Amino acid sequence: MSSDLVRTPLNDNIVLSVDYDGSQGANRVSDGRSQLAATNDIEAINAWLARFTGSQHTFNSYRKEAERLLLWATVSQRKPVSSLTHEDMLAYQRFLADPQPAAQWVMPPGRKVARAHPDWRPFAGPLGQASQRQSVIILNAMFSWLVSAGYLAGNPLSLSRQRTRRTTARVTRYLSEAIWADVKTSIQAMPQSTAREREHYRRVRWLFSLLYGCGLRISEVTQNTMGGFFCRQDGHGENRWWLEITGKGDKKRTIPVTSELMGELVDYRREKIFLPSPPPAKQHRSCFRWGSRSGP
C-alpha cells in the first residue's frame, strides 16, 4: 500500500495530498450550503461514521467499507472519493469481486496484523456476492447521507440502484404440530402442587402460547403490554380479538388472536387474580408487562 497516501485509514494520522483529499472534489457542492464542518473527504466520512459509535460491530463494518473505497479511489483511480463517478463505482464493484493486484490489496493467508501495520491489507480475498451487495448498500447509505448533508452534489451509486425483485415470502422457522404437541406435553408435566408452582406453570404455558400463536420477537414480548389486546367486530359482525404490537423501528402491527390463545391468557390472569381480560391500553397505560409480577 502506498504509505505516502494513507498510513492508518480513517484516523487522525491519515495523510492525503491536496490532489486526493477531496477539498477540491469534482462532486463537491460549490454553493457553500454544506451542513458539515468537514473540508475534505476524510473529515466528511468520519462525520458519517460518528453516527454509528453506539454499536462497535456496525461502526467497524461501515468503517471497513468506507476505508476500502477511500484506498481504492486514491491508490487505484488517483482521485478523491468526492470525485468518483457512476462509471468509477461500476469499476469498484468489479474490483470487489477480484481485488488486483492481490499483493497490494489482499492479506497473505493466515496473516493478521493491526490496521496501522505496514503489512496490513484491506481484503482477506475476493468478496462473495452477498458481501459485494452489503458493501454497495453501506456505501450507498454513506453517499446518500453526504448528499443530504450538502457535502456532495450527487450520489454516484444512485444510477445503479435496481428494484428489488419481489419474491414469495418463505417461512423457514416454525414448529410442526407434532413438536408443538410435545412442547405442551412437557409444560403440562411441570409440578403444580403449590401456589408458586401453579403460577410458574401458568406463566410458562402463557408465554409459550404467546410466542407460538403470534410469532413475536423476544423484544416485542418484553416491551409491549397486555393492554395491546383489544376486541372488535369483523365484517360478519362477530367479535374478534386482536393484539397491537409496537415492534422493531417503532412500527405498529396488528395480529389476529386465536380463541385458544385468549383462553390461555384468561387462565393466566385468573391465576394471578386479575380480571380475565386485560383493560384497554388507552385507559390503562401502565398495564403490567407480560410475565412480570406487578399488577395490571
- Peptide bond before 122: cis, by omega within 30 degrees of 0? no
Mean pLDDT across the stretch 234-259? Answer: 82
Q: How many domains does the chain have?
A: 2
Same domain, 96 and 188: no
Same domain, 195 and 144: no
Q: By C-alpha distance, which of 268, 266, 216 is closest to 246?
A: 216
Give the global pTM.
0.54
Same domain, 121 and 186: no
- What is the per-residue pLDDT for 253? 87
182, 248 Cβ separation under 8 angstroms = no
With a CB cutoff of 8 Å and minimum separation 6, the contacts of 296 are 226, 269, 274, 275, 278, 279, 284, 287, 288
Last residue in a domain, options 99, 127, 160: 160
Same domain, 61 and 142: yes
The CATH number of residue 244's host domain is 1.10.443.10
183-222 pLDDT tens trace: 888 988 889 889 888 888 888 888 888 888 888 888 888 8
Last residue in a domain, options 160, 186, 201: 160
Mean pLDDT across the stretch 112-137? Answer: 87
Q: How confident is the model at residue 12 (pLDDT cuts 50, 70, 90)?
A: very low
The CATH number of residue 116's host domain is 1.10.150.130
Same domain, 109 and 185: no
CA distances from 166 to 135, 169, 170, 252 (A): 22, 9, 12, 23
249-278 pLDDT tens trace: 788 888 888 888 888 888 888 877 676 666
Same domain, 78 and 152: yes
Instruction: Judge whether 46 lies within some domain.
Output: yes
Q: Quote the percentage of the chain above a pLDDT of 70.
A: 81
26, 153 Cβ separation under 8 angstroms = no
135-144 pLDDT tens trace: 999 999 999 9
45, 34 Cβ separation under 8 angstroms = no
253, 245 Cβ separation under 8 angstroms = yes
Instruction: Judge whether 35 lies within some domain.
Output: no
* Structural domain boundaries, residue 85: 41-160
51-100 pLDDT tens trace: 887 778 888 889 999 999 999 999 899 999 999 999 999 999 999 999 99
Same domain, 154 and 45: yes
